[in-house]
Chain A
């Protein structure tokens, strides 16, 4: 008989994310330089958020959807300097985003450079993220702001992302400066030295689920529209046309969205990709999109799921693979 051991969330890491500052290292995030006088206007025309007001030194997350209204990618647009944007996305498929933007670049004076393999990203997450960034980089990065600093001759960009619902600043630099041990302290080590706590991928995943933060190719992606996948705040319904706008506006206006993103609780670990069913009569009720293998301090397991709207009322009893599931 195989007995699976219970692994609990690391309280030091969790506490840092909730009350202090956690360091989240991305192994393969999408980082794209989009430069040229037409770059911002092009993204404004292609994506869900009003971007013309994102002036130099400002940042705004937005969603690129297909003509069918499905999510291609969600990325932070950091307006670093005049005509120089840095696009930061959680997706590990930078080629998909570069190809999609490039497809619509016809007469525009705008150039895309994929920095994903030459640069690295750390997310500074938690209420003390701004103070930590200020201590290490000497930059005051307020909500929706971008700053750059030079450390040992290397340019570092810090950009605030207000879309996550928690304190969040992305720091991007050349990979050598961020991660590679050498004669100088890495950027990662500099943040740790001032009290930021390194957060492991599984503990960050639990934190993300606990805060209902949608993940790339999990809650959102080509399988879902941005409304149902928890990206509603990244849609400006009065901004005018963008790719997929007609479909998304129709979904909203006629209340045609069939699923909602919900946080799920259970007494046993759930499985991403598994179906959700009504406990009473096994009717299909949705799908689990992310599941944490860690148990919380309260002894429950958390997951995210796209749940059919008919069954999203609090207290509805669901199950997945024989495990009872509660909607938070």
Chain B
């Protein structure tokens, strides 16, 4: 578990995905043959630090999702999860040392070694 000290990257009333992450999401959707799609970003209980990020390519939002658009990708965030994700930046890193999708979450007080779970 690592203690975080993250500067706020984006306004606290939204979440943001970088151009690289958006490009990767579009690629995954194309690989699945999906014309209509969005990226569901959520949080569920579990993981070393207690809260785990959820990323899923879906064909549309749920009724209580907050919808945000970045770089041509619709991002769906369930309202109950938004409180844990407000101000988060989603990036993608590849290459030999790449970690895949990476969250920079200003709400996270600590995160586990693999970066998939956090505590607030």
Contacts and interface: CB of A to CB of B under 8 A. Distances in A.
Interface stretch (B10-18, B19-27, B42-50): B42-50
Contact of A245 (B42, B48, B119): B48
State the main secondary structure of chain B at its contact with A: mixed
Given A241-B112, A241-B116, A241-B117, A106 B49 contact: no
Given A106-B81, A241-B112, A246-B112, A67 B1 contact: yes
A215 B113 CA distance: 32
A108 interface: yes
Contacts of B52: 45, 241
B8 interface: no
Interface string A282-323: 000000000000000000000000000000000000000000
A17 to B, nearest CB: 38
B45 A104 contact: yes
Interface size, A (range): 10 to 19
Interface residues of B, number: 22
Contacts of B4: none
B45 A67 contact: no
Contacts, number: 67
30 contacts: A42-B45, A45-B47, A45-B52, A46-B50, A67-B48, A67-B49, A67-B50, A67-B110, A104-B46, A104-B51, A105-B45, A106-B43, A106-B45, A106-B51, A106-B80, A106-B81, A107-B80, A241-B46, A241-B47, A241-B48, A241-B52, A242-B46, A242-B47, A243-B48, A243-B50, A244-B48, A246-B49, A246-B113, A247-B1, A247-B48
Given A67-B119, A241-B52, 14 more contacts: A45-B44, A103-B50, A106-B43, A106-B84, A107-B43, A107-B81, A108-B44, A108-B45, A241-B112, A243-B45, A243-B46, A244-B48, A246-B48, A246-B113
